[in-house]
Structure 1
Amino acid sequence: MKSGFSYSLIAIALMQADLLYAQQQAEDIEQIIVTASRTAKANTDLALSVGSVSTDIIKNDNAQHVSESLETISGVLLNQLSGGQGHNAAIRMPINYGGYTLYLQDNVPLQSAAFYNHNALWWASSNSSISRLEVLKGAGTSLYGSGAVAATVNVISAPIGEGKNELASTLGEHGYQRVNGSITHELSNSNGIRISGAYLNNEGWREHSSVEKAEFNVLHELEIDDKQSLKTSLITSTLDQQMLNALTEEQFNLDPSQSGLPDEVLAIDPSRATDYVRLSSEYKYEDHDFYASVIPYLRYRSNDYIATWQPNMPKIESSVRTVGLLALTNFRHNPDFETTIGIDLERSEGDAYSYQPTTRTTTGWGAATYPQGHVFYNDSTRFVGVSPYIQHLGKLTEQLNYSIGLRYDNNQYDFDNTLSAYDDDGFGNRSIASRSDTFEHLSPKASLNYLLSEQSSVYVRYANAIRIPTASEIYHLKTKETSSQLDSISEETSDTYELGYKANFDKLSIELAYYIMDVKDAIVTAYDDFGASFRVNASEVRHQGFEIGGIYTFSPAWSVALAYSQSNHEFQHYVQDAGRVDFKTKESKEVDLSGNSLVMAPEYIANLRLNYASQFVSGLNITAEIKSIGDYWMNSENTRKYDGYTIANLKANYQVTEALKLHARLANVTDKKYALQAELRYGKERIQPGAPQMAYVGLSYSF
């Protein structure tokens, strides 16, 4: 490790974040988690690494993107791509676009694993109704299936009883405008409704990066009696964002605010539009020793865009319609044992259509002329998932608890192609006949948790998990490079081994975790002679590292918080371009990368916050934040490194009255020029520039 900053972070060793001293009082020291089991449990009772972000942190951050608050959890990095609402993730993984993270809102998946999109937080609510954020790191419990490999991220809405009527507005540089609010109305002592929403309009600091987003949510809660309740939620949003591209090093050095798009592409004004609707209703029955939850849900999303990262920049239009059911029952055998039995059911139908919007001639490797109107694919896929599971918790002694679980996933695809079957469309694309495919897997889980005291515990756990290939990975194939891929691409399987320690003391909360995650049949990205990407099972990968996070309260005025992780991600076995021959020289293009580090895998991820609650100006809170990531390789051959970056942010909140609050935020205080992420593809840099210094101010009013 080259960075002295990372050594200083380890030396501090103080963890995760909360801004207000009041939250550190002894009566509030126990941290409650719901993501692991859908019921509230103390974090020291869970043999899992789970981080949470409180309501106060979310509100005091007043973030441009929810990722800014999530990064106060150790080991969590989410990059805001192009400075907009898109993102990718690096949680116990390199920075990646794959389906290793399961995204939820109020325990219900935001999307189908069969049609995974790395931008899932587009569709999560980001208005004043959010109560807190939770991240379950590593493979999830038996309650979660495909995608819960590296992490499960849960956006949790506030119950109506905790909600307030609120109206808030934020203004910032480059035309940033955001307004959000919520209204709560209790119809009776047992019946209430909340309507909330938000509107964002941002011109963007980069050329051709404007974004407009609107969301509208309705939550209705009904207590049927002292044992039964019903919670119904409607989440809707629409997003319209201009598209841009990564930059070369020359473009980045010249002007990082440019779009990276050629003039002929800018002329067609490439953009992305996505609409989202999710309706869910949870029925709960809770008695002394029995708990049941049934959540039927309907979900729709569309996603239309121009793939500016592809050489020919095709237009892609897609939509997914889902009906699903999450059902579980939990019962106690006696005070020391409890068992959860459940089943997840999902039926999704996805339509995908891709064509060439304008005639475009590419240059360099695989140069070709793509005529306007050429269709690359036009198909629909039906996905059915049936996943029963069981999880059992028990006590071996008063201090030692155990948990064992088993989940069976049966996932079936039915693919219907409207195009005729052919081997090559002239641009390296293959069209296959309609077909069906099934993926089955049994995932065991086991853990031990030892209570050292009422405030601390140690745990050890093992979890097996899967990631199924998406419909596009299975059916949108290339020609020569994927002739053998059909019928052979399979789900990824992972084995996670983890050891951890948690403690919630009077002035110090701390959580440590060390993990090893082995992934078999890892699906990697390969490229054809036209520069287009495709996916294939080709490697075995090991991810390992440690995480430390916590907060130490020095006094009623001062606290310091740290979220830090250090990791290593390498190929156990990977032959890149196996069997591929250069069509010009006829020489083999195989490269054995076994033992190499993965691309864009930061050596460390760190977030350090110093929090000040003024004792002289009542209601004033100031946070100074340092965010840093370590160096990483830009290519799989490990021939070129990116040095990482360190930036500072400053945030201030002033509670003028009980109802009125003012806030200000200065991002990238030193106006540092840096790359948010950088990689090499075919020897050419692809740099996502980080945002320059930006100022935001706003206010919120509760009534």
Structure 2
Amino acid sequence: MNPRFSYSLLALTLVQIYPYQANAETLAGDNVERITVTSTRTAKANTDLPLSIGSVSSQTLANDNAQHISDSLQTISGVLLNQLSGGQGHNAAIRMPINFGGYTLYLQDNIPLQSAAFYNHNALWWASSNASLSRLEVLKGAGTSLYGSGAVAATVNVISAPIATNSNTLSLTFAEQGYKRFAGSFTQLNETNDGFRVSGAYLSNDGWRTHSAVNKAEINLLHEKQLDDKQHFKTSLVVSSLEQQMLNTLTEAQFIQDPTQAGLPEEVLQIDPKRKTDYFRLSTEYRFDSNDFYASVIPYARYRTNDYIATWQPNMPKVESTVTSFGVLALSNFIHSSGGETTLGVDVEHSSGEGYSFQPTERTTSGWGAATYPKDHVFYKNDTTFIGVSPYVQHLGYFSPNLSYSLGVRFDHNKYTFDNALPVYSDDGFGNRSIASRSDTFKHLSPKLSLNYLLNAQSSIYSRYAQAIRIPTASQLYDLKTEQSSAQLGSINEETSDTYEVGYKANFDKLSIELAYYLMDVNDAIVTAYDDLGASYRVNASSVEHTGAELGLTYNFNKAFSFALAYSQSKHEFKHYIQDKGRVDRKTQQMLEQDLSGKSLQMAPDYVANIRFNYTSQTIAGLFVTAEVQSIGDYYLNVENTQQYSGYTVINFKANYALTNKLKLHARVSNFNDRKYALQNEIRYGRTRIQPGAPRTLYVGLKYQF
């Protein structure tokens, strides 16, 4: 572990925290960026909230011209998103190691992008991020009572711009490897207090790696209607389609030889494996807002497909799935004469998921478990219905004008009904089991408690405790392996987490700072276990402790220069975990279990840092330049902690130049130092798996507003 970079960076920034104590009226001319909506669905000043919420402003989004949301989200302390293989897929590391699990809840305009029962780590595929995008918010740690399963490590909210003016935008961006992106937004605001906007985008990219081409199209329709001074309707339709060629991780030898290769055998490339996903979401929000009462009701319908070749499995099976959801998010907020407020709400969701997996071509595998898989062999075919009903209450009160408290509780009642279309059998000859149709129910009560103290008009300190859950997904429950994994059936439980956090926030004239320290215990963690035949399945077998400190800081030196830092340092360890407990090797008859208690989790960076130096030219009107450093520290490649990866540091440059009041030129260079590096590195099933980072890439484009 090399702490020199991280400690020196902290020292450099903390030196300048205290000298500036002007009023908090503005920060960089945009006080609205200190207002957040994710925690309560209503606008709140960040110093009034006893939790850590980071945001990406509309101005930062406009200056980034990012080709993926992850580029801008990483300006928030403690947030790391890996854009896998340069495509549109991603995973996250927010108060967690880099992982594919359902620890992050993804929203767009406060509505979940997917069902927790059918979680996919690529949820931002389905977020509409075209020219109508207004801001991004990340609530770090367990969410408030408004959020259920998945809001364990973070809640990410993609927020669309409201209809406030008649402004239209057209933009285009080009880059190497055939990259092109077109986006537009057309808004009509009428005198009758209603407005309409249509926005969309199209992206096409051949990809810098072999067989990594992407095509994505999206459209977003928004209608807003103000009935009177208290009632408001907002209706939104999001439709998108994504098609992406599939590839695989690389071994260390492949990475050294040529990081642009696909990592797939030639015979697999011949079948041109692709992933295709279509998405549809329709929602309507009714809001009533008076002086002492606020109510919101959001019915929504959601549909998505996800079809792909599982290139990470030796036999390359085809997987087809659809999920159809209907839900309602309802809450009411009462303001008391004492100044306190009480929120009552309920979330209801009905989701139906269809899963089908089969062998698209005959394939013979080698090594452990070698076999010949015949064409059209069916691995699973089933329907799963999920019903979730989650009432909650949250109360805000005051001990004094400066000291407030918040109490909340959420009850989640989740039920799965599994309907198997295949006959029941213990082994299909390839280590897959087919179980009888069944139902399973999960119930949990999650309390929340916090204190917030306003030091003055510009700053506050807080402490909080929050419990959250992660329910097992339908595939973890029912896509089982051989009969020897039957102990899992009906016995797997939801994970529970307890988050303890203290923090400090301040918005001065030139300086804004957010500092947080957290401890998060995860109990009954769902991990991968193996039976005697080497088949994998899921069990609750671990307790994990996550601790860390986060620092978000922006400082304006003068009108020309500003500085922003997003930094976190963390530790992620098994409190208790016996891997392969009771398992004996069939060949050697030796005990395979290992006590990993006290070991670090794999792919858990020591630190994550994003540094930005911004320059607004005072001599060349309309020129804005950003120099950015993205860096992560070392981490272990495996849970045994026998091998380490040293992390990486890359440099990016971004420039925007206003040619006229309406026309802006933008350019950026990612990985300016052309670093050959592993974006992600791990050892899984005894094999090194490297996601290579993209080489130096130049993007240029134009944006026209009228």
TM over 0.5: yes
- Candidates 658, 666, 669, aligned match of 2:669: 666
Report the CA distance between 1:8 and its aligned residue.
Answer: 2.7
Q: 1:135-534 counterparts in 2 under 5 A? A: 135-162=138-165, 164-527=167-530, 533-534=536-537
d(CA) in 2 for partners of 1:474 and 1:670?
45
Report the CA distance between 1:421 and its aligned residue.
Answer: 0.9
d(CA) in 2 for partners of 1:481 and 1:246?
30
**Runs of 4+ off more than 4 Å:** 527-533
Where does residue 626 of structure 1 map in the other structure? 629
d(CA) in 1 for partners of 2:341 and 2:165?
30
- The number of residue pairs the alignment matches comes to 699
Which secondary structure does the structure 1 equivalent of 2:665 belong to? Answer: strand
Asked if residue 540 in structure 1 is aligned to residue 543 in structure 2, the reply is yes
Question: 1:162–1:423: structure 2 CA closer, same or farther, 3 Å change rule?
Answer: farther
Where does residue 20 of structure 2 map in the other structure? none
d(CA) in 1 for partners of 2:704 and 2:110?
29
Which secondary structure does the structure 1 equivalent of 2:86 belong to? Answer: coil
Where does residue 4 of structure 1 map in the other structure? 4
Question: 1:465–1:411: structure 2 CA closer, same or farther, 3 Å change rule?
Answer: same
AA at the equivalent of 2:97? P
d(CA) in 2 for partners of 1:399 and 1:26?
26
Question: 1:531–1:556: structure 2 CA closer, same or farther, 3 Å change rule?
Answer: farther
d(CA) in 1 for partners of 2:695 and 2:531?
36
Report the CA distance between 1:23 and its aligned residue.
Answer: 6.7
Of structures 1 and 2, the one scoring higher in RCO (CA 8 A, sep 6+) is: 1
Where does residue 56 of structure 2 map in the other structure? 53
CA contact (8 A) 1:129 1:163 kept: no
d(CA) in 2 for partners of 1:142 and 1:679?
35
Question: 1:218–1:680: structure 2 CA closer, same or farther, 3 Å change rule?
Answer: same
CA contact (8 A) 1:29 1:504 kept: no
Which whole-Å deviations, capped at 9, do the CAs of 1:8-35 have from their partners, x for residues lacking one? 321233699xxxxx97357727710000
Which whole-Å deviations, capped at 9, do the CAs of 1:435-469 have from their partners, x for residues lacking one? 00000000000000000001100000000000000
d(CA) in 1 for partners of 2:355 and 2:699?
39
CA contact (8 A) 2:432 2:480 kept: yes
Report the CA distance between 1:472 and its aligned residue.
Answer: 0.2
Report the CA distance between 1:581 and its aligned residue.
Answer: 2.2
- Candidates 72, 78, 81, aligned match of 1:78: 81
d(CA) in 2 for partners of 1:194 and 1:426?
55
Report the CA distance between 1:525 and its aligned residue.
Answer: 2.6
Which whole-Å deviations, capped at 9, do the CAs of 1:401-433 have from their partners, x for residues lacking one? 000000000000000000011111111111100
Where does residue 657 of structure 1 map in the other structure? 660
AA at the equivalent of 1:7? Y
Where does residue 642 of structure 2 map in the other structure? 639
Which secondary structure does the structure 1 equivalent of 2:185 belong to? Answer: strand
Report the CA distance between 1:591 and its aligned residue.
Answer: 1.2
d(CA) in 2 for partners of 1:386 and 1:474?
20
Question: 1:531–1:692: structure 2 CA closer, same or farther, 3 Å change rule?
Answer: farther
Where does residue 124 of structure 1 map in the other structure? 127
Q: 1:105-116 counterparts in 2 under 5 A? A: 105-116=108-119
d(CA) in 1 for partners of 2:403 and 2:619?
47
Which whole-Å deviations, capped at 9, do the CAs of 1:21-68 have from their partners, x for residues lacking one? x97357727710000000000000000000000001011101110001
CA contact (8 A) 2:573 2:601 kept: yes
Which structure 2 residue ranges, 5 or more long, are not aligned?
18-24
d(CA) in 2 for partners of 1:3 and 1:528?
40
CA contact (8 A) 2:27 2:508 kept: no
d(CA) in 2 for partners of 1:632 and 1:425?
39
Which secondary structure does the structure 2 equivalent of 1:646 belong to? Answer: strand
Question: 1:401–1:30: structure 2 CA closer, same or farther, 3 Å change rule?
Answer: farther
Question: 1:128–1:142: structure 2 CA closer, same or farther, 3 Å change rule?
Answer: same
d(CA) in 2 for partners of 1:106 and 1:125?
10
Which secondary structure does the structure 2 equivalent of 1:391 belong to? Answer: strand
AA at the equivalent of 1:11? A
d(CA) in 2 for partners of 1:30 and 1:270?
43
Report the CA distance between 1:187 and its aligned residue.
Answer: 3.2
CA contact (8 A) 1:165 1:184 kept: yes
Where does residue 549 of structure 1 map in the other structure? 552
Which whole-Å deviations, capped at 9, do the CAs of 1:174-229 have from their partners, x for residues lacking one? 00000000000123340110000000000000000000000001000000111000
Report the CA distance between 1:683 and its aligned residue.
Answer: 2.3
Where does residue 22 of structure 2 map in the other structure? none
d(CA) in 2 for partners of 1:148 and 1:271?
30
CA contact (8 A) 2:485 2:531 kept: no
Which structure 1 residue ranges, 5 or more long, are not aligned?
17-21
Where does residue 19 of structure 1 map in the other structure? none
Which secondary structure does the structure 2 equivalent of 1:160 belong to? Answer: coil
Report the CA distance between 1:528 and its aligned residue.
Answer: 5.8
CA contact (8 A) 2:33 2:55 kept: no
Report the CA distance between 1:526 and its aligned residue.
Answer: 3.5
Report the CA distance between 1:592 and its aligned residue.
Answer: 1.1
CA contact (8 A) 1:660 1:700 kept: yes
Which secondary structure does the structure 1 equivalent of 2:487 belong to? Answer: coil
CA contact (8 A) 1:310 1:531 kept: no
Question: 1:528–1:171: structure 2 CA closer, same or farther, 3 Å change rule?
Answer: farther
AA at the equivalent of 1:150? A
Report the CA distance between 1:5 and its aligned residue.
Answer: 2.4
CA contact (8 A) 1:481 1:580 kept: no
Which whole-Å deviations, capped at 9, do the CAs of 1:608-654 have from their partners, x for residues lacking one? 00000000101100000000000001011110001100000000000
d(CA) in 1 for partners of 2:33 and 2:311?
47
Q: Which moved more, 1:527-536 or 1:140-149?
A: 527-536
Asked if residue 583 in structure 1 is aligned to residue 586 in structure 2, the reply is yes
What fraction of aligned residue pairs are identical, expressed as a percent?
Answer: 68
Report the CA distance between 1:534 and its aligned residue.
Answer: 3.2
Report the CA distance between 1:481 and its aligned residue.
Answer: 4.9
Question: 1:567–1:267: structure 2 CA closer, same or farther, 3 Å change rule?
Answer: same
Question: 1:369–1:499: structure 2 CA closer, same or farther, 3 Å change rule?
Answer: same
Q: Which moved more, 1:295-304 or 1:158-167?
A: 158-167
Which secondary structure does the structure 2 equivalent of 1:118 belong to? Answer: coil
Name the TM-score, length of structure 1 as normaliser.
0.98
Question: 1:523–1:349: structure 2 CA closer, same or farther, 3 Å change rule?
Answer: same
Q: Which moved more, 1:481-490 or 1:634-643?
A: 481-490
AA at the equivalent of 1:67? S
Alpha-carbon RMSD across the aligned residues, in angstroms, is: 1.6
